[in-house]
Amino acid sequence: MLCMANSWGIKFNLRRAVALLVVICTGATLAACSATGGRPRGGASGGGGGGVDTPRYTVAMVSHGAPGDTFWDLVRAGAEDAAKKNNLELRYSSSPQAPDQANLVQNAIDSNVDGLALTMPTPEALGPVAKRAAKAGIPVVGLNSGMEHYKKYDVSAFFGQDESVAGERAGERLAKDGAKKVLCVIHEQGNPSQESRCAGIKKGLGGGSVENLYVNGMDLTSVQSTVQAKLAQQKDIDWVMGLVAPVALTAVQAKEQAGSEAKISTFDTNAELVAAIKKGTIEWAVDQQPYLQGYMAIDALWLAKRNGSTVGGGQPVLTGPSFVDKSNVDTIADAAKEGLR
């Protein structure tokens, strides 16, 4: 009888243990599920470094950036970070000449890339080839330039700023700062975005005057001599407005050589420009966040491949304008040193 009792006790304890184990496992399973009954949450991604483990795609970015232009270094840095995060191979290329840029886009199409990001400073040259890419089934997004035209060429999204609005805001800031005669330095002839900036400045300035000065932005020595000659001839110019950081920094030297009292501001930033704002040789900059433009464009291509997303719902996603001056320059100074602003 004693043996039978012990046997029954063992069986009873086993049953209790099994029942308890079922309860524990059921509770653990429920804890792993979402509140709405979704699938259990997995652990950290196996991609490493915050990346994803989705299929590896190849995407291209084709810009009109000129060699040595630090603005495009920032765009590319953002694109590379997004590509790394999303397990993408990024093929970046650029040319300031519209026909060459169109050829680079066609090369990307011919190599069967999985996504394409491009700038369209000259829509009549870049638009048709962008449309060709979309027709071939390649997701296409635009950035930086071409906001007024991208929809016409079946480009699904755009990341940048409205240059007319940015120019008008700059003009309003100049008027507030007391500018009367502004020299607007255009460094890429035939680029409608730059013309829009200067036209916006004139509109925002109101009662003052704005004169456009055309220079070759790829030759900063020539830029300095041209701006210097203008400032020496017209001592009443009280403000120089650059449209890119290297030109504005060159204008600082031109001003000193001309003996001019003109103040200098600009569109766009880089590390040297940020330092100049802190020093006071540049008054302020209009920032369109080029790193963000590059990052969001490549991120959008990954989303298009991942689940067919269209960022912005067909409307432009604005990355600017905002102003960087002495009051807030310290907040981006470290990022600028790292090539991120």
pLDDT over 90 at 44, yes or no? no
pLDDT tens digits along 244-297: 999 999 999 999 999 999 999 999 999 999 999 999 999 999 999 999 999 999
Query: pLDDT at position 52, please?
Result: 87
Query: pLDDT at position 13, please?
Result: 47
**What mean pLDDT do residues 50-58 have?**
86
Query: pLDDT at position 339, please?
Result: 85
Calculate the average pLDDT of the chain: 88
Burial of 127 per CB tally in 10 Å (0-12, 13-18, 19+): buried
Q: Are residues 281 and 299 in the same domain?
A: no
Q: Are residues 115 and 99 in the same domain?
A: yes
Outline where DSSP puts E strands in 194-272: 209-214, 239-242, 263-267
Percent of the chain with pLDDT over 70: 85
pLDDT tens digits along 23-42: 333 343 333 333 333 333 33
Q: Which of 267, 274, 272 is nearest to 320 (CA)?
A: 267
Q: Are residues 174 and 283 in the same domain?
A: yes
Burial of 245 per CB tally in 10 Å (0-12, 13-18, 19+): buried
Query: pLDDT at position 68, please?
Result: 81
Residue 330 lies in a domain: no
pLDDT tens digits along 67-123: 888 899 999 999 999 999 999 999 999 999 999 999 999 999 999 999 999 999 999
CA distance 78 to 67: 18
Q: Are residues 95 and 173 in the same domain?
A: no
Q: Are residues 157 and 296 in the same domain?
A: yes
Query: pLDDT at position 40, please?
Result: 39
pTM to 2 decimal places: 0.81
Residue 328 lies in a domain: no
Q: Which long-range contacts (CB under 8 A, 24 or more apart) does 107-112 make?
A: 108/60, 108/62, 108/133, 109/133, 109/136, 109/138, 111/58, 111/60
Q: Are residues 220 and 306 in the same domain?
A: no
**CATH classification of the domain holding 85:** 3.40.50.2300
pLDDT over 80 at 318, yes or no? yes
pLDDT over 90 at 330, yes or no? yes
Q: Are residues 114 and 170 in the same domain?
A: no
Q: Are residues 188 and 149 in the same domain?
A: no
Residue 31 lies in a domain: no
pLDDT tens digits along 170-198: 999 999 999 999 999 999 988 889 999 99
Query: pLDDT at position 166, please?
Result: 97
Residue 130 lies in a domain: yes
Query: pLDDT at position 187, please?
Result: 95
- Confidence class of residue 9 from pLDDT cuts 50, 70 and 90? very low
- 214 is in which domain, residue-wise? 163-287
pLDDT over 70 at 154, yes or no? yes
pLDDT over 70 at 45, yes or no? no
Q: Are residues 141 and 63 in the same domain?
A: yes
